[in-house]
Amino acid sequence: MEEKKIGMESVTADILMEALPYIEDFYGKTVVVKYGGNAMINDTLKEKVMEDIALMRFVGIHPVIVHGGGPEITWFLKKLGKESSFVSGLRVTDAETAEVAEMVLDGKINSEIVKRMNRRGVRAVGISGEDANLIRARKKLATVYEDDGTAPKKVDIGYVGEVESINTDILQTLIQNDYVPVIAPIGVGADGENYNINADYVAAKVAGALKAERLMLLTDVEGVYKDFNNKDSFISILSATEAREYIRDGIIKGGMIPKIEACLEAMDEGVAKAHILDGRMPHSLILEMFTAGGVGTQVIR
């Protein structure tokens, strides 16, 4: 019994020692986490994500959370008898859908994340892109890639925006005072209209504006595959050049397109690396950050 206990302690010590150099590297750095997918629905997974972010904060990392809410928005719309449709991974958003999205993102999800973080001793502050002009936005047209190889076309999908600028003043103030910002991806246009913005793109812009060390995107798949029907085609490291080729050739498609585009945009704006992780895997954030092998797809320049 005693030998077994000593063996377990040795394994635990090895894990901690493996994590140590990564903790040292990330100390004092900003890491932007896009929190979305089924990790926002399952209560057990919610707590695992909160534990990961709390650990990051307590070892000296400055996490910034940008959350989505796609599944819950879809559920609320369905209750209203409204079906959701998507173009290139982006939700088609009329005025009613935009109102529901804002209610769910800002009123429900954001406050829940803040409460869960605060219960863990992490001082979290919820903030919408509307607050203090945090996110200035304009209308976004979806890009549709044709199967026949012709030039992609642009499609109007309603009250969907793209980020023009991020007001980092309020974020820096919060970070410098040891608060964790929790951002709802609602942007305000020059015309005063509110725009629903894909949280991946918001996270990328926030990471770029803050010159974050990492962008971490939680999703509902293990990462990027060359062929989703072939588990052996998993891509652990994806270069920016390969990523653009895979989008063009239709290997990366659907909801993965915004995630890859977000990674590329973040790196274009100075973020060192970006990661696409399976939010359904408990503790995927710290496994990716603090172990040599990682668990997701790492996108590099």
Higher-confidence residue of 202 and 14: namely 202
CA–CA distances in Å: residue 39 to residues 26, 68, 171: 24, 11, 25
| Residue ranges of E strands in the chain | 30-35, 62-67, 86-87, 90-91, 124-128, 135-144, 153-166, 180-184, 186-188, 194-196, 214-219, 224-225, 234-235, 237-239, 273-278, 297-300
* Category of 298 on φ-ψ map: left (φ > 0), alpha (ψ -120 to 50) or beta: beta
Q: Is the pLDDT of residue 146 over 80?
A: no
> Which domains are assigned to the chain?
30-214+265-272 (3.40.1160.10)
Q: Quick one: how far is CA 275 from the chain centroid?
A: 9
C-alpha to C-alpha distance for 247 and 54, rounded to whole angstroms: 35
Neighbouring residues of 292: CB distance < 8 A, sequence distance ≥ 6:
18
Higher-confidence residue of 43 and 65: namely 65
pLDDT in tens, 16-36: 788 888 889 999 999 999 998
Rounded to 10 degrees, the C-alpha dihedral 165/105/189/77 comes to 140
Q: Quickly tell me which residue has 């503790």 as its tokens.
A: 283
Looking at every residue in the chain, the average pLDDT score rounds to 89
176 in Cβ contact with 139 (< 8 Å): no
Q: Which two tokens stand for residue 28?
A: 């004092």
Q: Look at residue 15 in the predicted model and tell me its pLDDT.
A: 73
C-alpha to C-alpha distance for 298 and 104, rounded to whole angstroms: 30
Q: How crowded is the C-beta side of 269, counted as CA atoms within 13 Å?
A: 23
- Mean pLDDT for 37-42 is 80
Q: Which residues face 195 on adjacent strands?
A: 187
Q: Is the pLDDT of residue 134 over 90?
A: yes
- Per-position b or e across 103-135, b if 16+ CB within 10 A of its CB: ebbbeebbeebbebbeeeebebbbbbbbbeebb
Band of pLDDT at residue 207, cut at 50, 70 and 90: very high
Query: In a 10 Å sphere around its CB, with 0-12 CB exposed, 13-18 middle and 19+ buried, how is residue 265 labelled?
Result: buried
Neighbouring residues of 282: CB distance < 8 A, sequence distance ≥ 6:
44, 45, 48
pTM of the model: 0.88
Q: Is the pLDDT of residue 301 over 90?
A: no
C-alpha to C-alpha distance for 31 and 38, rounded to whole angstroms: 21
Q: Quickly tell me which residue has 């057990």 as its tokens.
A: 44
Q: Is the pLDDT of residue 142 over 90?
A: no
